[in-house]
């Protein structure tokens, strides 16, 4: 049986990652390259506020892993002291 998907908060990531090895791994990954098609961009109507946006950013390496970054941008959230930008990597 496969392990369930784990979710990490920003605090979890900060606590668990060592920055130098992360930077080194990112350099290697960028040099190897990946398939990364143009990202779809969707406008989201929010009545009485500026429109929001949904961005979907897939990427994969042939024969390797696949990932999807999702980003939402809702400028009106700032008026409620909520984050305007939220993102996840699946």
Q: Per-residue pLDDT tens for 47-68? A: 999 999 999 999 999 888 899 9
59 forms beta bridges with: 67
Q: What is the pLDDT of residue 1?
A: 67
Q: What is the pLDDT of residue 64?
A: 87
Q: Both ends of the chain: CA-CA distance in Å? A: 20
Q: Which two tokens stand for residue 34?
A: 């990946």
Q: What is the pLDDT of residues 9-54, one digit of tens each?
A: 889 989 998 999 999 998 998 899 899 999 999 999 999 999 999 9
Give the pTM. Answer: 0.74
- Domain boundaries of the chain, sorted by first residue: 10-89
CA distances from 56 to 19, 38, 52, 84, 90 (A): 26, 9, 14, 17, 11
- Domain covering 10-89: architecture: 2-Layer Sandwich (3.30)
């Amino acid at each position: 049986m496969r392990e369930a998907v784990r979710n990490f908060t920003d605090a979890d990531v900060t606590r668990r990652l060592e920055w130098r090895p992360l930077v080194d791994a990112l350099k290697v990954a960028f040099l190897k390259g990946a398939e990364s098609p143009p990202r779809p961009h969707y406008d989201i109507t929010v009545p009485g506020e500026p429109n929001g946006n949904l961005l979907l950013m897939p990427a994969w390496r042939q024969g390797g892993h696949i990932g999807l970054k999702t980003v939402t941008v809702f400028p009106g959230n700032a008026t409620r002291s909520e984050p305007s930008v939220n993102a996840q990597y699946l």
